[in-house]
Structure 1
Amino acid sequence: MILKNHKLRLLLGIAFFSFLFALVVPTAVNATPGPGIAVKPNYPSTQFDQGGSFFFKTKPGEPQTITMDVANLANYSQTLTIEPTTAYTSKDGSITYKPGKVPYDRTLKYKMRDLVKEKKQKITVGANQTKKVSFTVTPPKKDYKGIILGALYVKTENRNDNVNANNVNLNNKLSLVMPIMIKSQDKKVNPKLTVPSIKPDKSGSQTLINTKLANERPTTIKGMTVTDRIYRKGNSKKTLSKNKQYQLSMAPNSNFNMQNDFGKNALLPGTYHLSLRAHDENGNHWKIEKDFNVSIKDSVIYNNNNWWWIALLVALFLIILLLLYLIYRQKRKQKELLNNQAK
């Protein structure tokens, strides 16, 4: 019994000192099995602050070269693509820089991607190595209001040998962004929130109302709260749909669709009204009141399984066609009768 207790104490002692050893000895962080990467900006002399991204002042038409260190944290060589992008607002109401086809807002005058000379660079960085890349930013030839926002979008390429023990392709690409923000003036620009359009839509069997929110100024909106409600014009006491969203952000001169769920309410033809209130973290407030129309065609297409309303609309349409036909036939008979009397 004494021997067993001695062994137990010995095991507990080994476990305790192993735990202390694990706390004291540092773990290597510069080699990872996955496609780890990191980037660091080398700030130009015109940089405003050192917050981890490029934010510098420009002179009209004067090119400026920026450099960035790209670190490969993986234990194998990696090929990366780096391309400039223009900031826009994603469908969930956040500032994003992902490349691809983007429906830019009509008020956007300058795109960061168009101002960067190098459209895409592909580099190979050795295991646990760092490589410097450079890009040339040429600002507009005239002074511009507000800011121009974009980024350098860094993405890893797939490896042919990136498989696990079961010979399954892991396909674990990694991407990150280095924001670029430039300005030529120190004058502050306040954002302007508008609603260019309100249209019905559908997701599966659910009826939605898409309210397009647009930031029409060359500055960002951050920490925005939006509250709205929709009702038939002239009947403000009955709310058909309401929505509240928090912590939204918008890129300069961009837009996105905020969706209202219409629930079980029938989307009937007629005029509706949107009442919207919004404010951001910088103290800007907006109040928007806007009418929008729903046509018979929209009602048939986008209604939320209210088949009896659709059937009623179709029946009314057929009745109208029948009445038009009867009126046409009656006029034709009258014309024939007049012609016969004239003979």
Structure 2
Amino acid sequence: MISKHHKLSLLLGVASFAFLLAWLVPTANATPGPGVAVKPNYPATQIDKGGSFFFKTKPGEPQTITIDLANLANYSQTLTIEPTTAYTSKEGSITYKPGKVPYDKTLKYKMRDLITEKKQKVTIPADRTKTVSFTVNPPKKDYKGVILGALYVKTENRNDNVNANNININNKMALVMPVMIKSQDKKVNPKLTVPSIKPDKSGSQTIINTKLANERPTTIKGLEIKDRIYRKGNPKKTLSKNQLYQLSMAPNSNFQTQNDFGKNALLPGTYHLSLRAHDQNGNHWKIEKDFTVSIKDSVIYNNNNWWWIALLIALLLIILLLLYLIYRQKKKQKELLKDQAK
């Protein structure tokens, strides 16, 4: 049985862990479910005892980390623990959910690849605890900044768990225990860039997708973004603007923001994105970038501006007709010159 002292220790650990998730390393929220508590057992190299793993490594020297899993429910539970790599969700927050993730090209080390045990499954009896260990294998050379990931703890469904009305209750839940490592004390400042800007559609609405990337091995927290889009050469007429608050980004990751183009026609030509951003640590970014909308993009992505589409098609037909007439004229001239040479 779990002693009252041990239960209190675990609950305090979970409380500290929740505080850390909100302020130090933003992450996905745990879903409601059965009683499960997760507590880290800090290694000797731990830097900050704030509720998650954050420790210093030596090149190529493995470190073992352990977590205590407590089953606070009145029935046996099976848990799956899987190491993951941190990334930035489409909502603009640091997350650790496993699955196929389009990692940024600047990401050099993935936490999942550095942990020996890829997945562990344990069954814990009611009101008991179990300790699970993982081996972290740091890069063989010193690395800049931090490498961020997590131990993703997920419970299995209990199909036999029914309420008084014989309705199955879904008791599946997930918790994350962040794992962050570094080998140097030198501070690394984040670098925010815009790798690409492309038109798209959301339902029937024309949008502009702007990919934002954090190209450095460090987190961005408290990120605020303001941007506007206008046709190049006409900065006084704003076609779309956007404002986002309280975002966070994982090291070497990216996500997309969307600008609603509203009722404005997406005409072919060159446009300009003017973006301003800053984070809670005083970093500021000013990004100015042109992007081009082709005739094809305009036809595909316009928001029901059918008269513009009809005009574009008409212009395209006129261009094709002119090219055909020029071709015919040149062909006749060649035939005439050939006849004169005989």
TM-score, reference length from structure 2: 0.88
In structure 1, the residue matched to 2:99 is: 100
Q: Does 1:147 align with 2:146?
A: yes
In structure 1, the residue matched to 2:75 is: 76
Q: Percent identity?
A: 87
Residues in 1 aligned to 2:257 and 2:171: alpha-carbon distance in whole angstroms: 31
Q: Counterpart of 1:334 in 2: which secondary structure? A: helix
Q: Are the equivalent residues in 2 in contact too, given 1:34–1:74 (CA < 8 A)?
A: no
Deviation at 1:172, TM superposition (A): 3.5
Deviation at 1:339, TM superposition (A): 3.7
Q: Please list, as runs of the form range in 1=range in 2, the aligned pairs for 1:1-343 lying within 5 A after superposition.
A: 34-343=33-342
In structure 2, the residue matched to 1:9 is: none
Deviation at 1:37, TM superposition (A): 1.2
Q: Counterpart of 1:225 in 2: which secondary structure? A: strand
Structure 2 residue runs without a partner (length 5+): 1-10, 12-31
For residue 89 of structure 2, what is the amino acid of its counterpart? S
Residues in 1 aligned to 2:212 and 2:154: alpha-carbon distance in whole angstroms: 30
Deviation at 1:294, TM superposition (A): 0.8
Q: Are the equivalent residues in 2 in contact too, given 1:197–1:212 (CA < 8 A)?
A: yes
Residues in 1 aligned to 2:105 and 2:33: alpha-carbon distance in whole angstroms: 41
Deviation at 1:167, TM superposition (A): 4.1
In structure 1, the residue matched to 2:21 is: none
CA deviations 1:138-171 (Å, max 9, x no partner) are 1000111110000000001112313344444333
Q: How many equivalent pairs are there?
A: 312
Which structure would you say has the larger Rg? 1
CA RMSD between the two structures:
1.5
Residues in 2 aligned to 1:118 and 1:176: alpha-carbon distance in whole angstroms: 18
Structure 1 residue runs without a partner (length 5+): 1-29
CA deviations 1:91-130 (Å, max 9, x no partner) are 1110000001111111111000000000000111111211
Q: Are the equivalent residues in 1 in contact too, given 2:242–2:259 (CA < 8 A)?
A: yes
Q: Are the equivalent residues in 2 in contact too, given 1:219–1:251 (CA < 8 A)?
A: yes
For residue 140 of structure 1, what is the amino acid of its counterpart? P
Residues in 1 aligned to 2:167 and 2:324: alpha-carbon distance in whole angstroms: 67
Deviation at 1:327, TM superposition (A): 2.0
CA deviations 1:199-241 (Å, max 9, x no partner) are 1111001111111111111110000111111111110000001
For residue 107 of structure 2, what is the amino acid of its counterpart? L
CA deviations 1:25-83 (Å, max 9, x no partner) are xxxxx9xx952211000011111121100000101100000000011122111111100
Residues in 2 aligned to 1:187 and 1:34: alpha-carbon distance in whole angstroms: 41
Residues in 1 aligned to 2:272 and 2:171: alpha-carbon distance in whole angstroms: 47
For residue 249 of structure 1, what is the amino acid of its counterpart? S
Q: Counterpart of 1:281 in 2: which secondary structure? A: coil
CA deviations 1:273-295 (Å, max 9, x no partner) are 11111111111111111111111
